[in-house]
Amino acid sequence: MALLEGLLWLTLNVYHEARSEPEIAQIAVALVTLNRANEMHLQVKEVVRQPHQFSWTLKKESYLPDDPKAFFRCMQSVYLALQTQDFTQGATHYHLDSVEPYWITQYTFLDQYGSHKFYK
């Protein structure tokens, strides 16, 4: 059950954070989530639901996806992320390129995929 729950939360995170992004950016978001889980020795659900880590968890009244086609595309990206080498170089954070969060000075910029910038 924990495996299925982890896959669901990983897919929900990709869906809410990057559903309109190209596949490579969706995979990168999944890899960041997995990198955080590994680094913190936490389950994916715990990482995603940590306060103030992923903006969608603060804004949503419901976590349920409202676009099934996009959700299944995100699920496919999660599947690919689980099979690929971590091309994000161990990134643990990201943000949209249209914002500049306070925390970026504490991390090293690694790359950009789609409209997200990735850091470690």
Domain residue limits at 55: 2-91
The 3-state DSSP composition of the chain as helix, strand, coil percent (nearest 5) reads 50, 10, 35
The verdict on residue 53 lying in a domain is yes
**Mean of pLDDT values over 18-31:** 98
Q: Structural domain tally of the chain?
A: 1
Do the domain assignments include residue 117?
no
Residue with the bigger pLDDT between 84 and 61: it is 84
Structure confidence by residue, pLDDT tens digits, 104-114: 999 999 999 99
Kindly report, residue by residue over 26-82, the tens digit of the pLDDT. 999 999 999 999 999 999 999 999 988 888 888 766 778 899 999 999 999 999 999
Residue 41: inside a domain, yes or no? yes
Q: If you average pLDDT over residues 87-107, what whole number do you get?
A: 96
Within a domain: 59: yes
Confidence of residue 1 (pLDDT cuts 50, 70, 90): low
